[in-house]
Structure 1
């Protein structure tokens, strides 16, 4: 049995799906962050885990050729990035290798991962930022990110994944909190006003939304706060107050109040205009989202005669892009606010061959099948948990020729592909898009076609 504080030297056997290095000590697994496979390391055991032990790196004794010096001063402590110690080429190799291993593990699918699209300059790409607040032991206000596996805030000056203007706004907000005596929310005592600040940024439009998530209905010093924030940053498009009084790790609450501007921002994606509200789902990386959607249309090869269903459609981004190449598109989404946003976005772009329905996509397809209506293509981009057998069974009932599956979690995607295969849909190539550079996450996309028995 290993003990806390014990010093070990060894070679990293492999990386797990979260890019933790695995150092084997007999039958025990030691999980080490910020290392690469085959590197020789000296580590210090931190604590016992359910699956083994965690350890911190003391020294890299033998470095991999793809190792680089992280350009972020808080990288070792912050839990937001995982691969800033790896070159762009190294990250590409690591993520492609991950997809290939997943495909090999699911050998009954006969699918392979062939490529991954990466960013040349993998910084300042995030169009949505979430910042938390705490006071340290000396009572000093801190704004920053949560340390990995904890509720402790790591303060920061500049994040290399954020647009620079967004960090400048955050620093002004912190200054105003001190000046106006606005207390940060304490999740243990359930006291304090400001829980989080969410900033959304239009990469093309340069419009900025600031969302102030507070713990009560009344916002003391609201007018002074808004006036001074706008005086310092007149480029802010809109400021929204969101109320979240629940004991939860979910950032946004249900109630909103517009404090300044229209309550939304607009941005351009794939040549289309989109209104983005505080709760809208919008892909975090604008540049790579365009790569992803263009890859999807390249795979589908639409002729202009197809009826397409966009399941889990959100505010309608990929459905409206597909509408340019199809006869008609139906977007289906359970979230009522998202459906309203999608309808407004269709009007904004004067797209007349798309309609949006607030419903469960699986049930909607069952209703279509009962009316003997047909679909040629289904596009789905579900949450990280993946789709469900009920949904996949509904796809099989309506019998589209093609299914395009986009995922932010290749593990659940490949699990779902096994169910699709059971119902007669197969894909042969999984493509990766690095939507989240400097982290271990990767987006993947696959085209499936119906095989007649």
Structure 2
């Protein structure tokens, strides 16, 4: 199917694709914006929708701009670079409002999106796929939209410039090394991804090679060469991921040279972060979440706060520093080890306790005597057991940090059911400019 038609775009899908109507069916057009009249080529039909390729913008939106990245039309890393920054923030709020209404019949006051002060150069971490084709040199880059093909790049404008500057020289060195590169494990294995992480405030950098095996001649020599070349590079590690899964990093990381962690200054505290640690990729916006949390709790006398899904103590420790007695829960044992180290570094062990556990299995006991609960679940939202336990023993304040409007709407609908909780505030934050992703902090108060 290669039929060419003209189309009026009415809106954006949840992943940032333009959406129009054709013969009563939704038609998805990557790169198109609401209000535009576009020429498209239809290329497939799926269920009750059609997919099309944008060929020409006939009537552009006033919000359209030239993308800041020359690869934006091909790379799947960003979906909204062609939409100017204020319009991105407005659309993200509108999407959140619409999702709350449609999925949960909720209509709270939703504040304007807290836009990022750094719409470019904000990402403190990158995991970049690698490949070496038989007919050419090593390639590194993100996947082409809707495919498993790499768009080769030497820079990425959404990355912290200190990471961006490393991509091209590291590609050159990995090419010279002659090490096998086998992202999809088709030819015996080898390097799969290049991982880079930087401390936004400290400038310390970690470099990790993700591979299916550890058979790389002169790896230690190369690692030391990199440490000598870049004074901000504090460590080189090797992560083993031998399984053909979509999970990028494996469970085993070994130190090659330097140290296996970097230090970051976050909300006035010192945090140790490892190569495989979950840490918000937009440091400035994460610090704004801390400010919002403290403001939401300002009217309460600091008591006991449970931080479910606490990670390395990113939010637990600033709340403990503000006087709360915090109990953090996290199923990842390595994250809990770092959380305890971070509590020691900041002399907060008397007010911050951490345990390795499944939230659903331990939360019932921890809610007894709890004054406030902070949840920052994965994209799938709260487990049904967790929701049931919260309803059985509801803390006076519930702070919900969400990375997915749909699961947030589902969970809020259950939490307010029967008048148990009232939604005090809903604050969207743009943690991922140039993409369709949005974070939301919802504050709930128990009504009884």
Displacement after TM superposition at 1:293 (Å) = 1.9
Displacement after TM superposition at 1:57 (Å) = 1.2
**Is the CA contact 2:103–2:406 (under 8 Å) kept in the aligned structure 1?**
no
Q: Does 1:35 align with 2:32?
A: yes
Name the structure 1 match of 2:22: 25
Structure 2 residue aligned with 1:316, among 313, 334, 337? 313
Name the structure 2 match of 1:446: 442
TM-score by length of 1: 0.94
Name the structure 1 match of 2:322: 325
Displacement after TM superposition at 1:311 (Å) = 0.3
Counterparts in 2 of 1:20 and 1:144: CA distance versus 1, 3 Å: same
* SS of residue in 2 equivalent to 1:219: coil
Q: Deviations over 1:140-162 (max 9, x none)?
A: 22111111222111011211011
**Is the CA contact 2:179–2:216 (under 8 Å) kept in the aligned structure 1?**
no
**Is the CA contact 1:113–1:429 (under 8 Å) kept in the aligned structure 2?**
yes
Displacement after TM superposition at 1:164 (Å) = 2.4
Name the structure 2 match of 1:393: 388
Counterparts in 2 of 1:186 and 1:201: CA distance versus 1, 3 Å: closer
Structure 2 residue aligned with 1:419, among 414, 421, 437? 414
* CA–CA separation in structure 2 for the residues paired with 1:263 and 1:270: 23
Name the structure 2 match of 1:377: 372
* SS of residue in 1 equivalent to 2:364: helix
Displacement after TM superposition at 1:186 (Å) = 4.2
Displacement after TM superposition at 1:378 (Å) = 0.3
Q: Does 1:66 align with 2:63?
A: yes
* CA–CA separation in structure 1 for the residues paired with 2:301 and 2:324: 5
Counterparts in 2 of 1:77 and 1:326: CA distance versus 1, 3 Å: same
* SS of residue in 2 equivalent to 1:239: strand
Displacement after TM superposition at 1:402 (Å) = 0.7
Structure 1 residue aligned with 2:147, among 146, 150, 164? 150
Q: Deviations over 1:258-294 (max 9, x none)?
A: 0112210010111111100122110010111111221
Counterparts in 2 of 1:231 and 1:217: CA distance versus 1, 3 Å: same
Counterparts in 2 of 1:326 and 1:51: CA distance versus 1, 3 Å: farther
Name the structure 1 match of 2:114: 117
* CA–CA separation in structure 1 for the residues paired with 2:253 and 2:299: 40
Name the structure 2 match of 1:195: 192
Name the structure 2 match of 1:289: 286
- When structure 1 is superposed on structure 2, of 87-96 and 439-448 the one drifting more is 87-96
Displacement after TM superposition at 1:361 (Å) = 2.4
Displacement after TM superposition at 1:169 (Å) = 2.1
* CA–CA separation in structure 1 for the residues paired with 2:369 and 2:8: 56
* SS of residue in 1 equivalent to 2:186: coil
Structure 1 unaligned blocks of 5 or more: none
Alignment of 1:299-310 (within 5 A): 299-301=296-298, 303-310=300-307
Displacement after TM superposition at 1:174 (Å) = 1.6
Structure 1 residue aligned with 2:402, among 407, 411, 417? 407
* CA–CA separation in structure 2 for the residues paired with 1:122 and 1:451: 38
TM-score by length of 2: 0.95
* CA–CA separation in structure 2 for the residues paired with 1:61 and 1:368: 59
Structure 2 unaligned blocks of 5 or more: none
Name the structure 1 match of 2:91: 94
Alignment of 1:150-189 (within 5 A): 150-187=147-184, 189=186
Q: Deviations over 1:182-205 (max 9, x none)?
A: 121141515341111110100100
**Is the CA contact 1:300–1:404 (under 8 Å) kept in the aligned structure 2?**
no
Name the structure 2 match of 1:434: 430
Name the structure 1 match of 2:132: 135
* CA–CA separation in structure 2 for the residues paired with 1:420 and 1:219: 52
Displacement after TM superposition at 1:231 (Å) = 3.5
Counterparts in 2 of 1:110 and 1:53: CA distance versus 1, 3 Å: closer
**Is the CA contact 2:104–2:412 (under 8 Å) kept in the aligned structure 1?**
no
**Structure 1 stretches of at least 4 aligned residues deviating more than 4 Å after TM superposition:** none
Q: Deviations over 1:328-375 (max 9, x none)?
A: 110011111111010000001111211111112233232246xxx410
RMSD across aligned positions (CA): 1.7
Name the structure 1 match of 2:338: 341
* CA–CA separation in structure 1 for the residues paired with 2:162 and 2:293: 32
Name the structure 1 match of 2:360: 362
Displacement after TM superposition at 1:103 (Å) = 2.4
Counterparts in 2 of 1:108 and 1:52: CA distance versus 1, 3 Å: closer
**Is the CA contact 1:302–1:325 (under 8 Å) kept in the aligned structure 2?**
no
